[in-house]
Amino acid sequence: MSQITILLVEDSATNRQMIGQFITRLGYRCAVAVHGLDALAYCQENRPDLILMDVVMPEMDGLQATEALRELFGESWVPIIFLTSQSELENVVLGLKAGGDDYLAKPVNFDLLAAKIQVFLRIAEMQEQINQDAIRLERYYQANEEEQRLTLELIKRLNEQYTSPQSHIWQHLSPATNFNGDLICICPSPSGQEHIMLADCTGHGLAAAISALPVVDCFYEMTRNGSSLSDIAAGINKKIYKLLPRSRFVAAALISIDHKAGTISVWNGGIPCVLLFSALGKLAVILKSQHPPLGVLSESDFDNTLQTLKFYSHDTLVVSSDGITESKSRQGGMFGVEGIINAVKNTGGKVVGTHILEAVSKHLEGDPISDDVSLLVVDCIQRHENS
């Protein structure tokens, strides 16, 4: 037996009997109310699937009852079809404004009534499905928000656990979405070198941020254990080659600065901008990428060869991801490495990193950057053995 219930609100006993019997023959359960107050009392205890509402009734008419029922039902939608005589058609507009969905003129055409009932029950079923989908979507959204919050907190703690602010290092990270697929890690080695990594994981958002987790963990662990920079590069590559799908890899510049010896060693796999400037802002060296990104090659094919160069005190090392170099103007021109070089040459006394970001913003004419951005500026201070 069908569980669908149709509430018939009708003050005429004859109409209640005829229409009620017809509803029953259609296979539905028919509940009856003799006026609006009666219908309201019924609906406070029960929720019908559809309501047939007479307009002119004692105690509370159909228009008043419909307004009260809509308030009672709230966000839940129950179809209401008005039953009105030809002389009451002028009330149809008022009825629809009150919250009714359709009307049927008296005397009732039962074929038309059956068709309207079927149509509105089908619409109500679809509406209920939409409501349930919305509830599931909201639950998924809340769960996803919580997962993202926990992931962000984990990445933040991993970095804060080992990294403390350094007065000679300026850094900037900003995500294209909630999560940053770029990362900057700084950690002193037991032998006194300063190890730095700027990495750009494939894509951006949550997937890129998750890809960064093993990279961060491996970098800090191997640095604290005294591993050389070349071994750290090989170790990270081995780890993410095993963990990540082949479509996921990490462009990275791994840098070791020996402030006492005055040397910089770099392993660059896919980072477009690793530049060394003199203290006067003149470009000294471009350390181009000489390797594929981490995670592309197997352990046996991986090359951990470093580039090593001397620096003078207060030379400036500038490293950035492609979020800056590939920033496009409205005309389609890229900011490029040349944009960074020009910005460093013409700082006008401003902080180098800040001036680069201002130059990028000017290049974009105020449009937002569309990719994750990481920018690192290191003041290379040569320290003597007794310092």
Are 65 and 53 contacting, i.e. CB atoms less than 8 angstroms apart?
yes
Upper half-sphere CA count for residue 369 (Cβ side, 13 Å): 27
CATH domain 5-133 topology: Rossmann fold (3.40.50)
- Provide CB contacts within 8 A for 53, sequence distance 6+: 9, 39, 62, 65, 66, 80, 81, 82, 83, 95, 100
pTM, whole model, 2 decimals?
A: 0.64
> How confident is the model at residue 191, as a pLDDT?
93
Integer-rounded Cα radius of gyration of the chain: 36
Report the alpha-carbon distance of residue 273 to residue 270 in Å, rounded.
Answer: 9
* Structure tokens that stand for 184 in this block: 């900057």
Are 331 and 367 contacting, i.e. CB atoms less than 8 angstroms apart?
no
Report the alpha-carbon distance of residue 386 to residue 99 in Å, rounded.
Answer: 86
Digit-by-digit pLDDT tens for the chain (387 residues) are 458 999 999 999 999 999 999 999 999 999 999 999 999 999 999 999 999 999 889 889 999 999 999 999 988 899 999 998 755 666 777 888 888 899 888 888 999 999 999 999 999 888 888 888 888 888 888 887 777 777 767 766 665 655 556 789 999 888 766 555 688 889 999 999 999 999 988 866 666 677 778 888 899 999 999 999 999 999 999 999 998 888 889 999 999 999 999 999 999 999 999 999 998 889 999 999 999 999 999 999 999 999 999 999 889 999 999 989 999 998 989 999 999 999 999 887 789 999 999 999 999 988 887 778 889 999 998 776 544
Report the alpha-carbon distance of residue 363 to residue 328 in Å, rounded.
Answer: 8
Q: Could you tell me the CATH superfamily of domain 163-380?
A: PPM-type phosphatase domain (3.60.40.10)
Delimit the CATH 3.40.50.2300 region(s) of the chain.
Answer: 5-133
> How confident is the model at residue 48, as a pLDDT?
95
> How confident is the model at residue 163, as a pLDDT?
57
> How confident is the model at residue 387, as a pLDDT?
45
Report the alpha-carbon distance of residue 101 to residue 122 in Å, rounded.
Answer: 14
Report the alpha-carbon distance of residue 317 to residue 259 in Å, rounded.
Answer: 13
Delimit the CATH 3.60.40.10 region(s) of the chain.
Answer: 163-380
Place of tokens 């392993």: 267
